[in-house]
Structure 1
Amino acid sequence: MKEKKQKVDKGNTHEEHKEYEVFESAEVLQERIVETQGFLDKNKNSVIGLVAAVVVIVAAYFLYGMNMESENAKAQAALSPAVFYFEKDSLNKALNGDVDANTVGFLAVADEYSGTKAANLANYYAGVSYMKMGEFEKAIDHLEKFSSKDLLVQARAYALIGDAYVQTENFDAAISSYKDAVNYKENDDFTPAYLMKLAFAYEAKGDVANAKSTYEAVISDYAKSQVVNDAKKYLALLNTQG
C-alpha cells in the first residue's frame, strides 16, 4: 500500500506563499535567479573574498592533517627507545633520554610533538614513571594531560591519578578521580577494582557511610568479581566498628 503524500502547506502570509512558489513556478524561479545574479554583480568582491577565505580554511585543514601525520610518525619513532627503557625499568632514561644513545625521553616527546598521539601516550608513560619514582605531583600533572577513548587505559589513568592523590593525602581529589575511573565505560572486569579503591579512599577520609555503600555496591553489582570477598570482609569490619 502506497503512503499518502503529505500535503504541503503553502503558508498564510504572502512571503510564505512566495517561498513555496519558487518550487512550482518557472517564472518565479527565473525571477529569483535574476535577483541572485544582481546581488553577485553588486557584491562581487565580497563574494570572491568569502570564497577565497573558505578555500584557505579548507586547504589549511588538510595541510594541518598531513603535517600532524608526519609529526606523529616522527614522534612515534622518538617514543620507541623511551618505551624500551621504561620496560627495562630504567626510568630516568625513559623520562629524559639517553645522551650516549642519542635518544630522547617521554618528556621531550610530550613537549616537542604536542598534539600528536605519540605525545599523548608519552604523557601517560611519564605519569606512570613518576608514580614508580614516588614523585606524585609530577605524576598527576602528566596523567591529567593524557586522554584516550580506550576502555582500559583511560580508566587506568584516572585510577592512577587517584592513587597519586592518596599518596599526597588529598583524599577528596582521590575520591573524585576514582569516581571518574568507576564511571568510565563501566565493565565487570575492572570497575569492581576501582570501586574498592574508592571505598578505601572514603575510609581514609573517615567517611564510613560512603565506604560501606561502596563495598555494598561491589557485593550487589559485581557478585562474581575477584574482589567481592574482600568487599565483604572490609564491610564486615566496618560494621563491627559501629
Structure 2
Amino acid sequence: MNCVVCQTVLTASDYCPKCGCNVKALKKIDALSNFYYNQGLEKAQIRDLSGAITCLKRSLKMNKMNIQARNLLGLVYFETGEVVAALSEWVISKNMMPEGNLASAYIDKLQKNTNRLDMINTSIKKYNQCLEYCRNGNLDMAKMQLKKVLTNNPKLIKGYHLLALIYIHEGEYEKARKQLKAAAKIDKTNTTTLRFLREIEEQTGRATNLDSRFKMREKEDEKQNGSIVYKSGNDTIIQPPEYKEKSITNTLVNLLLGLLVGAAALWFLIVPAKTQKINQEANKKVVEYSGKMATISAELARMQEEMEASTESVNTAQTQIQEAGEKAAAYENLIKAWQAHQEGNSDTAANAIEGVNAELLSVEAKSMYDSIMKSVGSTVRKKYVNEASAALESGDYDTAIAGLEKALNIGKQDKNTMFQLAQAYDKKGDKENANQWYQKIIDEFPGTKAASDAKDYLEANGGSDQAPAEGEGDGEVPTEDGGETDGEIQSGETIEE
C-alpha cells in the first residue's frame, strides 16, 4: 500500500515514513474495502450473486483501485448475463493496471470467441425489442422472442423476469413459476425473483420449493421407507423399519386407494378424447394465426415498396433542385459578369465569370459567355496562373494543378503554363501525368527552351522522348532577342516567362 501524498510504500506505522502524513484512516478504508471484497467472494461462491454485487460495489466505493474486487464484479455480472457491464468493469480494471491483470485475459478470451460474443449481442438487442413489444401490448411476439433470447443466452436473468411477468399478466402462474425457478438457480437471492414468486404464491395459494428435484426425491424416499441410514467406518448401513401388523383401518385405506386407482384409470380413458379436441382447436388457431401473419407480411412488403418508391422520388427531386440551384447560380454569375463587362469593369467581370459553369448554359447564354471570355479571358487566366504559382511555391500542389488546368482551358495553351503544370505533377510525385505534359511540350513546342527542359525532366523520370519530325512546329517564331513566342496570343494577353 502506498501513501496518497508521496506514493511511498507504507510500513506498519500509522505515519508515512517519508512525508510523515497520518495514514491511519487510509489503512482502515483499505481494510474495509478488502473486508467487503471477501464478503462478496463468499456470496459469489454460494451463488448469492445479488449479495455479491452489493458487497463488491461497497468495496470499490471504499477503494476504486481494488483490482481484485473489480475483476470479480465483472465475473459476477457476466454470470448474470450482463455482458456489457462485465466488459465495462474489466476495461476499467485493465486501464488502471495494464500489466499482470486477469481482466486482460477475460477480455481476450471473450473477444476471441466472436460467435459467442455476437450471439450475446444479438440476444441483448432482441431483449430490448421484447421490451418494446411489451410496451406496445404485443405480448405474443414478446414471448416468442424471449424464448429465443433465453436459448441463446440462458444466464440472462432479466429475460426470465420479463417472461415470467408476461405469464403472470396472462394468469399462467405455473409457467411463470418455472421461469422464476430457472432464474433462482443462477442467483438465489435476487430480490426481483423472490418478489415475483411471492406474488405467484399469493395468487395460487401454493408455496414454491426452490430445492432440486433430486434432493426432494431423497427426502420423500426417506419419509416413505422409514429407514434409518447411518455409517459405520466406510460402510453405509440401512436399518429397515419395524414391522407393524395390519389392522382394519389399514384394510379400509387400501380399499379406498383401490377405488381411487379405478377412478383414475377411468379418467385416463376419457381425458385423451378431450385432449384430442383441445389439440384440434389449438391447431385451428395456429392456422388462423399463420394466415394473419402471412397477410401482415404481405402488407409490410407492399408498404416497404411504397416507402422505397417515395424515397427514390424524394432523391430525384433533391437532385433536380440541386441542379436547378447550380444552373441558377451560373446564370446569376453570368449576368453579373455581363453587367460588369458593359460597365468596363474587367476585374469584376473576371471574378464573376469564374463562378459560371459553362456546361449548364444554353446556346445563347454560351455565346454571351464566350463573348465575355474573349475580353476578360486573359485576366482570368493570368489570375489562375498567379494563384497556381503561389500555391506551387507553398507546396500546395493540388491547388496549383487545379488552377493551372483551369488556365489552360482558357484561350490557347502556352508552353509556360504547361511546363508549370508538369512541374506541379512532378513535385507531387505523379510522374505519369508529369511525363505526359513534358511530352506534350516537346511535341507542340520543339526547338524551344521549354521543350529542352521538358526533355531533361522526362529523361530524369525514366520517360522516352518521342519528338516530332523536324519542321513540325506549331507556328512559333523567334523574337529579336533570340527567345520564342507562341504563334497566337489573345488580344490583351501577356504571358510571363
Query: How would you bin the TM-score normalised by the shorter chain?
Result: 0.3 to 0.5
Structure showing greater radius of gyration is: 2
Q: TM-score, normalised by structure 2?
A: 0.23
Q: TM-score, normalised by structure 1?
A: 0.39
Larger relative contact order, structure 1 or 2 (CA cutoff 8 Å, min sep 6): 1
